[in-house]
Amino acid sequence: MEKLVIEGGYRLSGEVEVSGSKNASLPIMAATILAEGDYFIDNVPNLRDVRTLSKLLNLLNIETEQKQNSLKIKNNGGNSFEAPYELVKTMRASILVLGPLLGRRGKAKVSLPGGCAIGERPVDQHIKALKAMGAKIEIEHGYIIAECERLKGTDIYFDLVTVTGTENIMMAAACAEGETTIYNAAIEPEVVDLGNFLRKMGVKIEGLGTKTVKIYGKETLSPTNYRVMNDRIEAATLICAAAITGGDVKILGVPKNCLTTVIEKFLEIGVEIEDIDNETVRILSKKKLKAADITTQVYPGFPTDLQAQFMALMTVAEGVSVVTENIFENRFMHVAELKRMGANIRLKDRSAIVTGVEKLSGAHVMASDLRASASLVLAGLIAEGETHIHRIYHLDRGYEKFDEKLNKLGAKIKRVENGD
């Protein structure tokens, strides 16, 4: 197993490019179940989660070949319908094959999902919606076992906003009989990206990016080519890296229209953001950061996927900030690790009260989930001495060559064998 060793204290400068979005790539890959034939999907990050889903598609008689950031997919059809525990346990997004398998092949046996240990993320909304569309579903021995004739379009009311639930039902509805209307749908940009991909396959969809999405089912769909959107969370994490080191960094491929709330918060804490063109910004951080409060919310609010990274900034900001987590109940596991590095953080209910300190100190710390690992990297960039980050497989699930990108900007990060 590998770890990262970071020598802190280096100011970042230079130019870096944002990778394609993991959270958009995965549902788009799952959607290739819906039609036989050849696909070419560009701007796909070369990540552990992408490779895991590729293995799962292979088990479903769908060939995948990734070269750098391009993915060739050939759906050979067939009747395979099982997503086994061995693959699903490492990645919650595997649940995304449930909808398209039911919609196209009429059967699905999908292990209950795993992934990051950041709290309960139940799939009951998925199951309730698919049952409303006519599926028979049982939970047995840790598997969702489902079957149907042809799904029937209907009105779906989500009790709470669910990104993967919205995506699953959009895919299931794509080849269902009749119209499906999803109420209280997720409006995240990655959901819209999936919708645009489905449109290219021949699906008529209305209301993308709104709380009410209508899908007109079509029995036969066509394979297509597509370019995945850039990763808004990686872009924001790179802004954090420039900001925390007092850097001067040009970031290419920033989906600024998806980051309005986040950019406003960066400006509030004293980060200078200069627009170069539509997708390029220059980040300047020449002075002490100021404390600011954040509350995570569903899109377009402040994203939970950026909470840990922003908290890392606040550990060395001037003043006291309150970070409130409203999405996942266990998403403060990075707090104990930041405190090992000298951060002053106190937990109270669903909030972390962060009092900025003059400096952090390098230490051995352990990543508990994907975004927590990124926050520890950010802290390590400015900590005195060396920071050793263990269990970086979490980082590799969601950030493409993140250590290499930071090193090109002047960071001192080594990837070494850990032995644990």
> How do residues 171-230 score in pLDDT, each as one tens digit?
999 999 999 999 999 999 999 999 999 999 999 999 999 999 999 999 999 999 999 999
Query: Residue 85 has what pLDDT?
Result: 86
Judge if 190 and 237 occupy the same domain: no
Tell the residue number behind the tokens 């992408």, with chain if given: 50
Query: 122: annotated binding-site residue?
Result: yes
Q: What residues are annotated to the active site?
A: 116
Q: Total structural domains in the chain?
A: 2
The CA distance from 255 to 398, in Å, is: 17
The CA distance from 97 to 382, in Å, is: 41
Domain that holds residue 187: 22-227
Judge if 253 and 212 occupy the same domain: no
Total length of the chain:
420
Judge if 240 and 98 occupy the same domain: no
The CA distance from 225 to 122, in Å, is: 32
Judge if 254 and 212 occupy the same domain: no
- Single residue among 227, 261, 279 that ends a domain in this structure: 227
Confidence check: pLDDT of 121 > 70: no
- In this structure, the dihedral spanned by the alpha carbons of residues 104, 106, 107 and 108, taken in order and rounded to 10 degrees, is 40
Judge if 63 and 210 occupy the same domain: yes
The CA distance from 248 to 283, in Å, is: 6
Confidence check: pLDDT of 52 > 50: yes
Query: 305: annotated binding-site residue?
Result: yes
The CATH number that applies at residue 325 is 3.65.10.10
What the block records as the tokens of 238 is 């790179």
Residues 69-118: pLDDT tens digits?
999 999 999 999 999 988 887 777 889 999 999 999 999 999 887 543 33
Judge if 11 and 68 occupy the same domain: no
> DSSP letter at 290?
B
Contact 234, 258 (CB under 8 A): no
Judge if 215 and 267 occupy the same domain: no
Judge if 205 and 252 occupy the same domain: no
The CA distance from 290 to 202, in Å, is: 49
For residues 232-243, give the mean pLDDT.
98
The CA distance from 197 to 311, in Å, is: 34
Judge if 70 and 182 occupy the same domain: yes
- Single residue among 186, 204, 227 that ends a domain in this structure: 227
The CA distance from 93 to 414, in Å, is: 30
Query: Residue 122 has what pLDDT?
Result: 67
Q: How far is CA 372 from CA 3, 101, 304, 366, in A?
A: 14, 33, 11, 9
Sheet of strand 155-157, all strands in order from the earlier edge strand to the far edge:
155-157, 179-183, 212-216, 204-206
Judge if 132 and 252 occupy the same domain: no
Query: 92: annotated binding-site residue?
Result: yes
Please tell me whether residue 144 adopts helix, strand or coil conformation. Answer: strand
* Helix or strand holding residue 194 (H, E): helix 189-200
Judge if 125 and 272 occupy the same domain: no
Query: 159: annotated binding-site residue?
Result: no
pTM recorded for the entire structure: 0.94
Judge if 268 and 220 occupy the same domain: no
- Single residue among 172, 207, 227 that ends a domain in this structure: 227
